[in-house]
Amino acid sequence: MSADGCAIVTGAARGIGAATAAALASEGRPVLINYRSDGDGAAAVVERIEASGGRAHAYAADITDPDQVDGLFAAAEAELGPVAVLVNNAGMRADGLAPQIGRDDWSAVIDTNLSAAFHTTRRALRPMLRARFGRIVNIASIVGIRANAGQANYAAAKAGLVGMTKTIAVEVARRGITVNAVAPGLVETRLTEGIGNGLVDAIPARRVGTAEEVAACVRFLASEEAAYVTGTVLTVDGGLSA
């Protein structure tokens, strides 16, 4: 494997994942579009990338299941070549005040937003370590850095993702592999529907961000130029966490 390998973007059927897949494809990198249930959305992303001259392939996998993660990587390697870039974007919400969050909602959010990223990262690192090259970018959230009432499970998962990012970055830095996180603030996607509630007034930039703005940051961290950037968290929030 080399810097010329393909990218896997999880949860890439829409939103930040779709924008990230398109951004990486625009750099000439083949991209595997992972999705769990939105096959039509994933197909639309593939079509858009191919219409722009890029190369992409969609693959359904529930990445909370390590066995399906193995299948995902096998498909990427068979269809597009060695995996040089992994973007852990898949996520979900199940909001509620702490006393109201049930066991199932807690587990589902932790499994999807944190444990799944560990499964994919562990699988990606095996060939990356041998090749002495790799780029892993985790999509965290400013909710993992600053409080947002009603999202204890989501905040715990994203804070854990930040801690995992920093720890693994230190473990693999000598092997030419970087591990970073991007922490979006309020970005206009389906996942953020219903949580604005006046928050724009608290954002110094006085606007909501776009998926494309987050994707541009991921594209840089996935590049060869970012070889000396690792273990960091890049906030993309219009100054909200400043």
Q: What is the mean pLDDT of residues 162-188?
A: 97
pLDDT digits (tens, 9 = 90+) for 67-115: 999 999 999 999 999 999 999 999 999 999 999 999 999 999 999 999 9
Confidence category of residue 4, pLDDT binned at 50, 70, 90: confident
Q: pLDDT grade, residue 1 (50/70/90)? A: very low
CA distance 168 to 6: 21
What residue segments make up the domains of the chain, in order of their start? 6-236
pTM here?
Answer: 0.95
Q: What share of the chain has pLDDT > 70, as a percent?
A: 95
Confidence of residue 238 (pLDDT cuts 50, 70, 90): very high
CA distances for 228 relative to 7, 132, 164, 170, 224, angstroms: 20, 14, 19, 12, 9
Structure tokens at 8: 């896997």
Q: pLDDT tens, 8-25?
A: 999 999 999 999 999 999
Known catalytic residues are 154
DSSP string, 90-129: ------B-GGG--HHHHHHHHIIIIIHHHHHHHHHHHHHH
Does domain 6-236 fall under CATH 3.40.50.720? My reply is yes
The pLDDT value given to residue 140: 98
Give the model's pLDDT for residue 196: 56
Average of per-residue pLDDT across 34-62: 98
Alpha carbon 211 to its chain centroid, in Å, reads: 12
Residue 144: burial class (beta carbons within 10 Å; 0-12, 13-18, 19+): buried
**Average pLDDT score over residue span 117-139:** 97
Around Cβ 53, how many Cβ atoms within 10 Å?
A: 9
Q: Please, what is the average pLDDT of the chain?
A: 95
Q: What is the pLDDT of residue 199?
A: 77
